[in-house]
Chain A
Amino acid sequence: MTTAVGTAGPRRLSVDAKLRIAIGILTLVGIGIGTYLTYTHYAGLHVLCLSSGGCETVQHSRWSKLDGIPVATLGLAGYIGIFISVWIRGELGRAIGFGLALVGFLFSMYLTYREAFTIHAYCQWCLGSAAVMTLLAILTTVRMLRTDSAEPVAPKKTVDRAERRRQMAARR
């Protein structure tokens, strides 16, 4: 992780580093949910659910798949993508993370709408994943919009030159 350059004392994490850690932790939670739901789907197991049958009702609905692929598996792929983006330095990494989290967030909102108004059942795992995706969308947006990014802009040569002249003048 990137650390801010301090003049003295303990090395403190920059805001961007903190954001990357938070995003990394949230994606790991999302990967856990996605892996569990994908595994239970393909292994034909029953999903542990707090409400009576809500998760299975949602999982067996026609909205739970996208062209034959379980949406949980797509979510898992999205979380892995965001996790990888955290390790990509610079604008590209921030842009990939932001884009994936935004797609995940908007699609999660659509699926939650389906749960509430079409399927009339809720799956805690899906709601949990939607909450994680919402937090990721917020954090990646903040990271994307922050101008004081972790990667400092390289100082221009003129600055160095001016500093040198100032030092020379001071010596005189």
Chain B
Amino acid sequence: MASRTKQKEEARARRLAEEQARAERTRRDRRIRTVGGIVLGAIVVVVVLILINSGGKKGGIQTGAEQNATVAAVNQMFAGIPQSGATLGNPKAPVTMTYYGDYQCPVCQAFTLQGGFPQLVSNEVRQGKVKVTYKSFCTATCNGPNPNIFPTQQVAGLAAGKQNRFWQYTELFYREQGQEDTGYVNEAYLTALARQTTGLNLTTWQADRNDTSLTNQVNADQQAAKNTGVSGTPTLIFQGPKGQAAPSAAVPTYAQLQQAIKQVS
């Protein structure tokens, strides 16, 4: 009797173990399917996020009404402010802001268009208290697919500067800056910006682009940047009667620029 009960119990235990193993297998399979589904779903979501993130504003040469609005805004920004080469503002201004930049640098674009720069030009530069001198320092361009274009693009601005339109050309470059690392800067791009620069004589501009003194100026700017310890762009250095100051923020606000001006005035 005891042995039959024992056998029944053993059979029951076996059945139970089999049931548990089957349930465990089912649960494991279901979990694997769930995990696989979540992983696939996550990959799809991330791919969509990456596409949205990298497919944002493409930039580049504007056309039609958009271009007209940009040109009008640029002309208004610099109207009546004296220019000489790469220097903007009253040559006798007590404070000089040296702006080390690279035309393809997106952070320079952020400073020039959204940082403190527009207000600085509208106020201190227009009032003759500060002058701005642009110097070339290769950063984003040198990290991009075509670093050799750097002197060509910077000289294009300096050639416009020979007709006192350096800042219009530079502002247009930043406003119509293309997508980084796409090698968008070429002859067509540089010439299109020159065509948008109001009052620029294109024939003279083209001829001036071959002026070796401008290439030498770009090289000298780069050397000056290295000597000063400049490591990135934009780097802003203020010089005035009380010495020198450099805002530490990559994209200084107008308040930070004013603070630097105060320090050196």
Contact = CB atoms under 8 A, between A and B. Distances in A.
Contacts of B143: 120
Secondary structure class of chain A's binding surface, majority of residues: helix
B39 A66 contact: no
B250 A60 contact: yes
A147 B31 contact: yes
A53 B35 contact: no
A162 B249 contact: no
A153 B46 contact: no
A67 B39 contact: no
A99 B40 CA distance: 10
A109 B110 CA distance: 25
Interface residues of B, number: 43
Interface stretch (B52-60, B64-72, B93-101, B121-129): B52-60
Given A57-B107, A62-B56, A159 B16 contact: yes
A106 B53 contact: no
A66 B42 contact: no
A102 B40 CA distance: 10
Contact of B110 (A60, A63, A110, A121): A60
A145 B31 contact: yes
Contacts of B23: 153
A62 B57 contact: yes
B42 A144 contact: no
A44 B253 contact: yes
Contacts of A103: 42, 45-46, 49
Interface in B168-200: 180-181
B233 to A, nearest CB: 10
A53 B56 contact: no
Contacts of A1: none
27 contacts: A46-B249, A52-B232, A53-B232, A53-B249, A57-B107, A57-B250, A57-B251, A60-B106, A60-B251, A66-B49, A67-B56, A95-B34, A99-B41, A99-B42, A103-B45, A103-B46, A103-B49, A106-B42, A110-B46, A110-B50, A121-B232, A144-B34, A153-B27, A156-B19, A162-B9, A162-B12, A162-B16
